[in-house]
């Protein structure tokens, strides 16, 4: 579980490959390149490096309030667990924009949430860590930030 914690690290402390992954993602988002191969060629990294780190690094914006975060989690099909997840979001003062839960297969459901980070929202990493710590949550993955 320790490898799932969130940290804020100064740019100068990051390995160059991670910075290049962020740049490749920016190129893809801005549609200046159309394929992952073009993005990785443009920043001079391998596609395997891109795929290895693409879900683990995001630029930190000083003004991250009013932004949308979309994340997915896998959870046990336990009555009340979804309510507990939503309660953690509400206690953090974030605004839920969308919820999509799959039909549980093998006792596990996938839940995708989009939330808006408001000026009064508590620290995002604390909210995500509190959700991950709930019994019945298997994993949580940030899919995107806007």
Q: Is the pTM higher than 0.85?
A: no
Other CB atoms within 10 Å distance of the CB of residue 46: 12
Query: What CATH number has the domain bearing residue 72?
Result: 3.30.70.260
If asked whether residues 47 and 90 sit together in one domain, one would say no
Q: How many domains does the chain have?
A: 2
Residues 100, 111: contact at Cβ < 8 Å? yes
Please indicate, yes or no, whether residues 135 and 77 belong to a single structural domain of this protein: yes
Q: Please report whether residue 5 resides in a domain.
A: no
Tell me the angle at which helices 81-91 and 124-132 cross, rounded to the nearest 10 degrees: 160
Residue 69, Cβ density class (10 Å: 0-12 exposed, 13-18 middle, ≥19 buried): buried
Assigned domain for 62 exists: no
pLDDT in tens, 82-135: 999 999 999 998 999 999 999 999 999 999 999 998 877 777 888 888 999 999
Domain that holds residue 47: 13-54
Residue entry with tokens 């046990």:
76
């Amino acid at each position: 579980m320790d490898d799932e914690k969130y940290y804020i690290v100064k740019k100068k402390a990051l390995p160059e490959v991670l910075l290049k992954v962020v740049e490749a993602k920016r190129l893809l988002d801005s549609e200046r390149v159309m394929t992952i191969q073009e993005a990785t060629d443009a920043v001079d990294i391998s596609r395997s490096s891109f795929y290895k780190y693409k879900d683990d690094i995001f630029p930190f914006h000083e003004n991250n309030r009013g932004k949308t975060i979309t994340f997915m989690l896998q959870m046990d099909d336990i009555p009340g667990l979804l309510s507990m997840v939503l309660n953690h979001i509400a206690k953090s003062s974030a605004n839920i924009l969308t919820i999509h839960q799959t039909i549980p297969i093998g006792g596990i459901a996938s839940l995708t949430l989009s939330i808006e980070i408001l000026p009064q929202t508590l620290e995002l990493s604390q909210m995500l860590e509190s959700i991950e710590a709930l019994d019945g949550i298997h994993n949580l993955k940030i899919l995107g930030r806007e």
